[in-house]
Amino acid sequence: MTLLEGSIGVEDLVLLEPLEEESMLKNLQLRYENKTIYTYIGNVLVSVNPYQQLPIYGPEFIAKYQECTFYELKPHIYALANMAYQSLKFRDRDQCILITGESGAGKTEASKLVMSYVAAVCGKGEQVNSVKEQLLQSNPVLEAFGNAKTIRNNNSSRFGKYMDIEFDFKGSPLGGVITNYLLEKSRVVKQLKGERNFHIFYQLLAGADAQLLTALKLERDTSGYAYLNREVSRVDGMDDASNFKSVQNAMTVIGFSKEEIRWVLEVTALVLKLGNVELSDEFQANGISASGISDGRGVLEIGEMMGLDSKELERALCSRTMATAKEKVVTALNVVQAQYARDALAKNIYSRLFNWIVNRINESIKVGIGEKKKVMGVLDIYGFEILEDNSFEQFVINYCNEKLQQVFIELTLKEEQEEYKREGIPWKKVDYFDNGIICNLIEHNQRGILAMLDEECLRPGVVSDSTFLAKLNQLFSKHGYYESKVTQNAQRQYDHTMGLSCFRICHYAGKVTYNVNSFIDKNNDLLFRDLSQAMWKAKHPLLRSLFPEGDPKQASLKRPPTAGAQFKSSVAILMKNLYSKNPNYIRCIKPNEHQQRGQFSWELVATQARYLGLLENVRVRRAGYAFRQGYRPFLERYRLLSRSTWPHWNGGDREGVEKILGELSTCTSEEMTFGKTKIFIKSPKTLFYLEDQRRLRIQQLATLIQKIYRGWRCRTHYQQMRKSQILISSWFRGTMQKKRYGKIKASVLLIQAFVRGWKARKDYRKYFRSGAALTLSSFIYKSLAQKFLLGLKNNLPSTSILDKKWPAAPYKCFTTANQELQRLYHQWKCKKFRDQLSPKQVEVLREKLCASELFKGKKAAYPPSVPIPFHGDYIGLRGNPKLQKLTSREEGPVLMAETVRKVNRGNGKTSSRILLLTKGHVILTDTKKSQAKTVIGLESVAGVSVTSFKDGLFGLHLSEISSVGSKGDFLLVSEHVVELLTKMYRAVLDTTQRQLPVTVAEQFSVSFKESNVTVKVIQGPRDNGNGKLSCKKKGSHGLEVTV
């Protein structure tokens, strides 16, 4: 987009016609009323404060301006910031952005926008993002402690700030350095009507929680503090509580520890508490006026919070120690002097705290010493001030603005015109106001106002503001830019606005009348040594560090430099810094005095335009050249545009530049001029054309490099592929020949085999009988059988009867024989095992075999009984002779002896009995009396019934013809039921030569006397085998047993 395409008014005042003040102001008003606040004067940006948020900022606009050159899009602060950043990054030139204008013109917001743009477009990465965040978060901290509401501005910077942002060669931020200038510390103790103290006091009281306020010994109501203006405690559009949280978060991001944040808030609270220390009149014994503390509560709270001796603090506030080389004299202070001392202490504490915060931020964002860096400076300093009552603060502020105006004049107007003369370029001089005479009036080392003020402060004898003013009147009586009542009277002029204690300076921005009252005190900026020593004795680490001169070891009688001398030195350093960098200007204009959106005060804007020299700047830019550069850097940058100078040029720099521009058709002689050492280009369009051509040429060269690289890459790849193909081919051919040879060899061997077979068959038919085939086959079979049997002999498995392994038959014809041999071998192993057993072991195995035949797979109690050997005697029969007498000797030993439980036929209850099993009888005896109660012959046992569960219940069925059988069958419970029934089965078989019927069922019938009872066995909730069982009668013919 061109500068005039679709624009409102004229976007660049260089193109304004007619070039007059009225047309310039109309153009600014037209653009302002259409919410277009930015206008160019060449590469200078004019910004009119809109007093509202406009939708022209954010990531979308940053991306748009990042991709374009300065004049391609509409005027914007992003365009100027981008030009400065690109010049720093690609041209390796240090930059500074000078933001100037009156208080309330929007300088602070402009500096924030510049920093946010630079932070958005520079490099990425974890470390880079951390540095950017620290740089951006320094703004809310410094605004809280250094900004305040004034009559003209709700967020006025009451200090000067110059930030050097340092970048590496890639354009990524490394860190920075912040320099602050002359904090308006008088605001700490006194504010004008309608103004506030510094923001931090109100933020602390509004945003701190109750616990923090209690720890700081503060109350939330702002009206309770003498240092805070009770009339104005809130600002429209400003949330103090939310801002306090933002300040705390910002301090954390910057690197403040929690302890350091608490220290800062405690010292801030100390300043508020000092304002509430009330002083009253007292008199000494000799009648001399003195002072004292009216209410000691405030001093006590300060002492507790800061670790101070309250009595020593009171003494320091109410008296002063005068030290000479020989003695010390203590002098009491009257109320006025004591109040001055208290206010001086509060101002010094706050001022030093602010300096400490700036230094602490610098520690976090500083760059390493050895790193090579580029620098971009951003200057945001207080604007020119003209108040009803202007004092020392306004004097030094306006002095600083005079110096900045001088920089602007010398670098944009004076320097540009002088450069044309040096380069021998025809030039018609443009008249402009040079404010060097005003700067000299203020800062001259011997005859300047600041020098006179320092001289008056150091002069012995009676010194006052009146003597200082008298000296100025005498020295500058004939100076054209200095006025006072005395000089006016001498010239017979009458001005009722000029007071007797005032003088006036005709600044570039207009005439300002200063009241000299307190000039001496504010310049001296004295703090009594007693107060410094009292603060140094505090146990609070931060407060103690703010007053190093309070240390008796470092005490010095040397007078400290005055405030004016310090500020003058700081401004000199700042000017030197600015002159060393390429300047970029943002001229901020305040449209009205009431901070109202949409209002455009013609007179106010005209005044600012005059003292900012906007019209003179336009004239110089229109008559001059938009771009100039030395021949050598120009040749280095654009030599690739000509085949004569690229890639090598051996001629002179100027000849090379002429060669380049001569080959470009659009670069006519009207558009450029050759100076002695530089090339001057008139129109920015020509520069844009050169940049576009350079960009296209770089693309062409990049394409050429890519083409050559791709060719080399392809050739290299082809050569590697060719070598690989040759190698693969040789290996492939060798492999194919080997395979072909193998096939030929196999075919030859096969042919040889067939030939030998044919010859063998021919010889066989010739020499052998016809029956030879059977003989051969019989021989082969016998050989195979012999080989099989010999192999089996050598590979026989172990003789363990549990080892069932057997070698497989090598041929199918031996499968049947192999199985028969396996069976015979197993029988042989079993016989050999049986021959090794003793008769007792044989008997045990026979019993186990019998138990297996009776119960395996039928009763759940059988598997647990398999590994347990049968003992037979479970009651210690050998040690009980009474029980041994119950058996006759003819019957032999007792086969089974154990304690069983007999189920009562009537009620189902159980009682213990001892059961003895011999070869002829089953004997049941009482466990206590050891007398046989029932003797049952084995021939009378008709059968046995058991369940399939793990229980030991069994029914012993008796034949009816026996004497015992008339009483009925027995229902018994045994813990070794498997062993008992197995031994009983074998005893019956041995005695009666009949097999004992064993029935396994959950329901069976037993005979009790004359009736039959059906026993039904059910599984209980826990199947615990031989656990307790319960019997329950079910009518007269049923019994339910739960196991």
**Nearest partner of 441 among 399, 409, 407, 404, judged by Cα:** 399
Instruction: Encode 815-858 in three state secondary structure.
Output: HHHHHHHHHHHHHHHHHHHHHCCCHHHHHHHHHHHHHHHHHCCC
C-alpha 380/C-alpha 111 separation (Å) is 6
Of the candidates 47, 156, 524, 947, the residue annotated as catalytic is 156
The yes-or-no answer on residue 445 being catalytic is: no
SS3 882: helix
Of the candidates 39, 139, 153, 918, the residue annotated as catalytic is 153
DSSP 304-358: HHHT--HHHHHHHHHEEEEE-SS-EEEEE--HHHHHHHHHHHHHHHHHHHHHHHH
18 upstream amide cis, omega within 30 of 0: yes
C-alpha 1043/C-alpha 1027 separation (Å) is 7
**Nearest partner of 148 among 108, 102, 98, 97, judged by Cα:** 108
Of the candidates 39, 43, 49, 103, the residue annotated as catalytic is 103
The yes-or-no answer on residue 153 being catalytic is: yes
- In degrees rounded to 5, what are phi and psi of residue 37? -95, -10
The yes-or-no answer on residue 27 being catalytic is: no
The yes-or-no answer on residue 385 being catalytic is: yes
C-alpha 536/C-alpha 547 separation (Å) is 6
The yes-or-no answer on residue 229 being catalytic is: no
The yes-or-no answer on residue 466 being catalytic is: no
C-alpha 915/C-alpha 933 separation (Å) is 11
**Nearest partner of 137 among 158, 164, 119, judged by Cα:** 119
C-alpha 152/C-alpha 387 separation (Å) is 10
**Number of helices (H) and strands (E), helices first, in the chain?**
33, 31
Q: Across the chain, which distance is largest between two alpha carbons, in Å?
A: 171
C-alpha 763/C-alpha 757 separation (Å) is 10
- In degrees rounded to 5, what are phi and psi of residue 1003? -140, 125
- In degrees rounded to 5, what are phi and psi of residue 375? -130, 135
Alpha-helical regions (H) of 580-652? 602-612, 614-623, 631-638
C-alpha 315/C-alpha 331 separation (Å) is 11
Of the candidates 116, 138, 157, 197, the residue annotated as catalytic is 157
The yes-or-no answer on residue 275 being catalytic is: no
Of the candidates 9, 298, 303, 383, the residue annotated as catalytic is 383
Of the candidates 166, 195, 385, 847, the residue annotated as catalytic is 385
The yes-or-no answer on residue 390 being catalytic is: no
Contact 590, 105 (CB under 8 A): yes
Of the candidates 43, 108, 116, 398, the residue annotated as catalytic is 108
> Strand 482-484 relative to strand 502-507: parallel, antiparallel, unpaired?
antiparallel
C-alpha 377/C-alpha 582 separation (Å) is 10
Burial of 407 (0-12, 13-18, 19+ CB in 10 A): buried
**Nearest partner of 393 among 271, 260, 564, judged by Cα:** 564
424: left (phi over 0), alpha (psi -120 to 50) or beta: left
Contacts with 863 (C-beta within 8 Å, 6 or more apart), sequence order: none
C-alpha 363/C-alpha 848 separation (Å) is 95
> Strand 279-283 relative to strand 502-507: parallel, antiparallel, unpaired?
unpaired
**Nearest partner of 206 among 234, 231, 229, 236, judged by Cα:** 234
Of the candidates 9, 104, 106, 303, the residue annotated as catalytic is 104
Active site residues: 103-104, 108, 153, 156-157, 383, 385
